[in-house]
Amino acid sequence: MIAAASVRGKIHPFAVKGPSGVGTLGGRGADPVAGLYLLDSNVDTPPAVLAGIGLPVLVLAGDEDDDNGTAEDLAAAFPRGQAGRVPGNHMSAVAQPDLGRAIAAYLAGA
């Protein structure tokens, strides 16, 4: 069974639930309706705004996480942006010790 839901007329691909529910809002025990409202609240930041941020910015991502664009592309949007990669994907990278080490190394050099 595949189902999709919408908020204010927009169908959100992240809300599509397959038979296993794995990797979907419904498959993680989350309230899918509440999750759709959260997804609908995301607003893109215009590139001109990012280009106006003059502070150093570190963009870290898992080395298997390019689903929403790359860390390198996002870092390039900032005048002083720097990209880094740690082992893992969008969800597992946050549990890797390399993430903390990369942040610490970046802050030590700032």
Kindly state whether residues 71 and 100 are assigned to the same domain.
Answer: yes
Kindly state whether residues 35 and 51 are assigned to the same domain.
Answer: no
* 1 found inside a domain: no
Distance CA 101, CA 107 (A): 10
The pLDDT of residue 78: 96
* 35 found inside a domain: yes
Kindly state whether residues 66 and 90 are assigned to the same domain.
Answer: yes
* 33 found inside a domain: yes
- Number of domains the chain contains: 2
Residue whose C-alpha is closest to residue 35's, from 43, 24, 45: 24
Measured from the Cβ of residue 23, the count of other Cβ atoms closer than 10 Å reads 12
**Binned average pLDDT, 10 residues per bin, the chain of 110 residues:** 43 47 54 74 87 95 88 95 93 91 90
Q: Which domain holds residue 52?
A: 47-109
Model confidence, pTM: 0.64
